[in-house]
Chain A
Amino acid sequence: MAVSLQQSSASAVIEARRAHNEKLARRADQTRATWFPLTLLAILIALPLLQFTGNYNYLLHLVLFAASYAAMASGWNILGGFAGYISLGHSVFFGIGGYFSGMILARYGVSTIVTAPLAGLVAAVMGYLIGLITLKVRGPSFIISSIALLMISRILFDNWELVGGANGLTLPMNDLPVLWAKVPYYYAMIAIAAFTVWATYRIKHSKFGLGLRAISKDEIKAESAGINTRFYKVMAFALSAFFVGMTGAVWGEYLTYLRPNIFLLILVSANLVLMCILGGKGTIAGPVVGAILIVALNELFVATMGASEINILGTGMVMALGLIFFPLGLIGTLAKTGKLPRVLNWD
């Protein structure tokens, strides 16, 4: 009797294990709900049609603003989320993109929307060169080196007469009527954000992405597994700079002026980090969700509490609470516990 009891409990254990393994295998093969991001994109593309019914410039501005941050946070995520190198200096590439395309606009009248990919390339080349130096260290040393990069760039741009120094540069406004003036930048920003999210998805599921994830866990192991860690890291830095640079280019013309204290601000970099942490570092949907949440919360608290110090406290409280309950970020924690709704599983 005792023997048969043991046998049945042993087979129950095996059965439970098999069910568990099958569940894991199924989860690995699970199809993505690609229809959701595509529908979202379609809605955003159709959104400016609202302008025929009234003035929705404020809404367009908010979406554009969130899209710009979604693009930059997704770009940052390549280095910070996949490879695990936290950079607080990414506003430098925002500035490089903005100034490069802005100068071309000011001198030759070519819209930044056209030159944005080129601005991204310039930022990527700078990122590559800077990465060669700063990626030799990791952890806190890397974070500090990225802040140093930002401070050096700030001093440089503040004193560079060609680009207007600390006073900056005014860019020509487009001559569209006020109802439609934002629309070109709106579409440009949506396109950049969508492209960035798609690119991060492709990167995450490539050999390169797998290598970056290995680097973030254990660099020595990754290197001895045959991964050229130095090259991977520098490439990740360059790619993340590319997307931030593109966004900066369009943002400059949208604002109609370039100034070091708008672009080369640690607040921009810090926002990227916070968005990725709140949404979920290393996930695809995380930076997008984080960007939308932080932009929306900032707006909400400014509207309800005024532009006092209290609104900052409000956003901070929500961040803190979010991280207490979702330590890996919203998407990261939900995915880990298997509670992520399929529509948000973009990984």
Chain B
Amino acid sequence: MLEVKNLCKHYGGIRAVDGASFTVEKGSITALIGPNGAGKTTAFNCISRTVTPTSGEVWLDGERVDQLRPHKITAKGLSRTFQISRNLSDMTVIENIIVQSRVEGIKGLFRPAMNAEEKDKAMSLLDFLGITRIAYEDGHNLSYGQKKLMDLAALLMSDPKIILLDEPAGGVNPSLMEEIIGHIRALNEKGLTVLIVEHNMDLIMRLSHKVVVMAQGRVICDGTPEVVRKDPQVLDAYLGGVLEEAA
């Protein structure tokens, strides 16, 4: 579904991503892990084209997308969230969500911002995430966890085929994390492909079908969680024996 080939992003002399290649299978939950500074978020940004990669290719459903502008990539069915929730303050939650719905052509630009259909869809997404009560709240007034949930709802508004989640459970409490895990799993069961960057090992090991490990801008290992947790290179570079203890 998503294929990243030899992706590089250099900032001056720093090689944030240095020839990373990996694939995300259709219908899977793939996790991208690695120590801080491994280049995970930069790789994410290059895939969604929020930053321009120095070189390399990104293919989505057999189509090369690394030269498209971000909104085009979103239109092709790849949506992302941001590590630090970037919600639009001074707009209500429902506006924050509906802003992500698709707009077709010039005529579409000047139709009403929120038609009944979109409102229903946004409300059903909020209902799915259990936050309908904050629909008309200003995006500014939300708690951190609510923002994370709102991001997820907004993401789904554009009917994506694949979603990229940048630390969806970063900084949220354990019970909300369980809730988010449940939502991701439910979405995946409906056929949505998920690529996820996360630091929480427990979440990764429980949720993902495949784990890609990055270190110093490169992919050092990929495979099922079981394979990855036993890989000596991974243990060396990143996990440092934490998982050995757990196992």
Is B92 part of the binding interface, using a Cβ–Cβ cutoff of 8 Å? yes
Residues of B within 8 A of A207 (CB): 103, 108-113
Known A-B contacts A206-B112, A228-B71; A222 and B99 likewise in contact (beta carbons under 8 Å): yes
**CA A205 – CA B112 in complex, angstroms?**
6
- Given A17-B133, A217-B91, A218-B86, decide whether A208 and B71 contact each other with a Cβ distance below 8 A: no
Task: Report B57 CB to chain A, min CB distance, Å.
Answer: 20
Per-residue contact bits, chain B 80-97, to A (CB 8 Å; 1 contact, 0 not): 101000111111101100
A235 surroundings in chain B (CB, below 8 A) = 109
B74 touches A226 (CB 8 A): yes
How far is it, in angstroms, between the C-alpha of A67 and the C-alpha of B203 when the chains are bound? 61
Chain B, residue nearest A282 (CB): B90
Q: Is A220 a contact of B99 with CB atoms below 8 Å?
A: no
Separation of A213 and B82 alpha carbons in the complex (Å): 19
Shortest CB distance B13–A (Å): 25
A214 sits at the interface (CB 8 A) = yes
A209 at the B interface (CB under 8 A): yes
Given contacts A213-B91, A224-B80, contact A208 B69 (CB under 8 A): no
Closest chain B CB from A241 CB (angstroms): 17
Number of interface residues of B (CB under 8 A): 38
Cβ of B29 to closest chain A Cβ, rounded Å: 21
Map CB proximity to B onto A230-265 as digits: 1 under 8 Å, 0 otherwise.
100001000000000000000000000000000000
Chain A 13-36 interface residues, beta-carbon cutoff 8 Å to B: 17-18, 21, 24-25, 27-28
Closest to A202 in B: B110
Q: What is the 8 Å Cβ interface bit string for chain B, positions 105-123, against chain A (1 contact, 0 not)? A: 0001111111000000000
Residue in A closest to B90 when the chains form the complex, CB atoms? A217
Is B70 positioned at the interface, with any CB of A under 8 Å from its CB? yes
Q: List residues of chain B with CB within 8 A of the CB of A27.
A: 136
User: Are B99 and A224 in contact, CB atoms less than 8 angstroms apart?
Assistant: no
Q: Which residues of B contact A21 (CB under 8 A)?
A: 133-137
With A24-B137, A25-B135 in contact, do A221 and B88 touch (Cβ < 8 Å)? Answer: yes
A292 CB to nearest chain B CB (Å)? 25
CA distance A1 to B41 in the complex (A): 52
Quote the shortest CB–CB distance from A250 to chain B (angstroms): 25
> How many Å lie between the Cα of A224 and that of B48 in the bound state?
8
The answer, yes or no, to whether B100 is at the interface (CB within 8 Å) is yes
Assess whether A220 is in contact with B136, with CB atoms less than 8 Å apart: no
Whether B70 lies near A209 (C-beta < 8 A) is no
Contacts of B75 in A (CB 8 A): 226
In the complex, the answer to whether A224 meets B70 with C-beta atoms within 8 Å is yes
Residue-wise, chain A 42-80 has the 8 Å CB interface mask toward B (1 for contact) of 000000000000000000000000000000000000000
Q: Does A98 contact B (CB under 8 A)?
A: no
Q: Answer whether A221 and B82 are a contact pair too, CB < 8 Å, given A21-B134, A207-B103.
A: yes
Q: Does B30 make an interface contact (CB < 8 A)?
A: no
Tally A residues with Cβ within 8 Å of B: 32
Interchain CA distance A208-B114 in the complex, whole Å: 11
Verify A225–B50 contact, CB threshold 8 A.
no
Per-residue contact bits, chain B 2-40, to A (CB 8 Å; 1 contact, 0 not): 000000000000000000000000000000000000000
Instruction: Return the contact of A224 from the options B50, B92, B98 (Cβ within 8 A).
Output: B50
Which B residue sits closest to A208, measured CB to CB? B109
* Cβ-based interface call for A211 (8 A): yes
Min CB gap B84→A, angstroms: 11
Chain B positions 54 through 74: 1 when the CB is less than 8 Å from some CB of chain A, otherwise 0: 000000000000000111001
What is the CA–CA distance of A27 and B134 in the complex, to the nearest angstrom? Answer: 14
Of A25, A203, A214, the residue contacting B91 (CB under 8 A) is A214
Inter-chain CA distance A295–B74, complex, in Å, is 46
CB-CB < 8 A to A24: which residues of B? 92, 136-137
In angstroms, Cα B172 to Cα A140, docked, is: 36
Which residues of chain B are near A206, meaning CB under 8 Å?
Answer: 109-113
> Could you tell me the distance between the alpha carbons of A108 and B84 in the complex, rounded to whole angstroms?
61
Min C-beta distance of A334 to chain B, whole Å: 15
Interface residue A210 (Cβ < 8 Å from any Cβ of B):
yes
Q: How far is the CA of A229 from the CA of B50 in the complex (A)?
A: 13
Q: What 1/0 mask marks residues of chain A from 192 to 218 whose CB sits below 8 Å from any chain B CB?
A: 000000000011011111110110011
**Is A223 at the interface (CB under 8 A from chain B)?**
yes
What residue of chain B has the Cβ atom nearest to residue A209's Cβ? B113
- Chain B nearest CB from A328 CB (Å) reads 10
Contacts of A214 in B (CB 8 A): 88, 91, 99
What CA separation (Å) do A222 and B79 show in the bound complex? Answer: 12
Q: List 7 A-B contacts (CB under 8 A).
A: A21-B134, A209-B113, A210-B114, A221-B82, A221-B87, A221-B88, A226-B102
Question: Contacts A21-B137, A221-B88, A223-B69 given; 8 further ones with Cβ under 8 A?
Answer: A28-B136, A207-B112, A210-B113, A211-B99, A211-B103, A217-B88, A226-B71, A226-B158
